[in-house]
Structure formats: C-alpha cells, structure tokens
Amino acid sequence: MPRKLIKKYMPDEATLREHKHLSWLGDHLHDPNLWHLNRKSVPRAFLVGIFCAFLPIPMQMLVAAVLALICRSNLPISVGLVWLTNPLTMPPIFYFTYLVGTSLLGTPPQEFRFELEWEALTHDMAAIWWPLLFGSLVSGVFFGLLSFLGMRSFWAWHVNKSWQKRKARRSCQK
C-alpha cells in the first residue's frame, strides 16, 4: 500500500508531539487522523498542503498545521507539502499565480522590478497584490483539489492492485 512508502519518510509521531514549536497545539495533537496514513487523511493532507503552498504569505507551515487540525488531515504531510514553494520555486509559482489573477480579473499585467528597497517594494506590491492574492487562492484551490482527487485515485488503484496480487497468489496456491 502507499502507506508503507509514505511511512518510510515520515517523522516519528512522538518526536513531533514533543517538538517545542508544536507545543501550542496541546491535546489537539492526539487525534489519530493527524498521524495515521489512511485513505481519508492522506488525500486531505494533499489538499491542505498544496493549497497552503500557493498562499503568498509568510508562515505557510503554521497555516497548514491549523488547517490540518481543522480538516483532520495527516499533519506531517500537510506541513511538508508546503515546501513545494521554496526559495527556488517561489518566483515562477507566484509569477504564474499573478498571471492567473490578472487573467481572471481582466486586468493587464503590470511590469515590476524586484528591488530590495522598502519604497520600491511597497509601491510594486500595491500594484500587484490583488491579482497575486486572487490568482494564488484560485490556483491553490484548483491544484489542491486536483491533488486530492489524484491521491484518492492513486490510493484506490494501489489497493485494487494489491488485492489482485493477493487473489492471484491464492489461486496459485490451490
């Protein structure tokens, strides 16, 4: 099952419960769905993690952890998937979401240059924040749902394949 593959790369549940940065979650960390790998919690984790990866905000992992608690999805997978947007992938992903936002809102894309000066940064962000945020939310929902459905389909396919192998082994033994 995919459970064995995923479990091989997941951190230990006890280690995460004792982690100092997760202590504020308290007793909420004792929900079994946050840690077990099953056909419901893993696709939900993909939905939450991919959605949060597209959010153009700081502390995406914190948002993913809170949403994982609310949705009762697998916490380590939800938080880990946020790292799809890392310093290397952020510029192309957020540029893509900005273009999606401008396209959906019917506004022309603004030209901007990235400069590490506060005045230039605030001026450029004022011009692009709404298309960026809207495009990020739309892309997050779309790709989150796509990954949710993809993971559910993969899980069902893998279980069916395992059952077929088991059935074939049993018929050979008779």
Question: pLDDT tens for residues 87-135?
Answer: 899 989 999 999 999 999 998 888 766 665 667 667 777 778 899 999 9
Does residue 45 lie in a domain region?
A: yes
Number of domains in the chain: 1
pLDDT for 148-167, tens place per residue? 999 999 989 988 898 888 88
Does residue 43 lie in a domain region?
A: yes
Q: Is the per-residue pLDDT at 1 higher than 60?
A: no
Give the residue numbers spanning the domain of 42. Answer: 2-86+138-165
Q: Taking the model in full, what pTM does it have?
A: 0.77
Query: What is the pLDDT averaged over residues 4-20?
Result: 66
DSSP 29-72: GG-GGGT---TTHHHHHHHHHHHHHT--SS-HHHHHHHHHHHHT
pLDDT for 15-28, tens place per residue? 666 666 666 666 66
pLDDT at residue 30 in the model: 67
Does residue 127 lie in a domain region?
A: no
Does residue 22 lie in a domain region?
A: yes
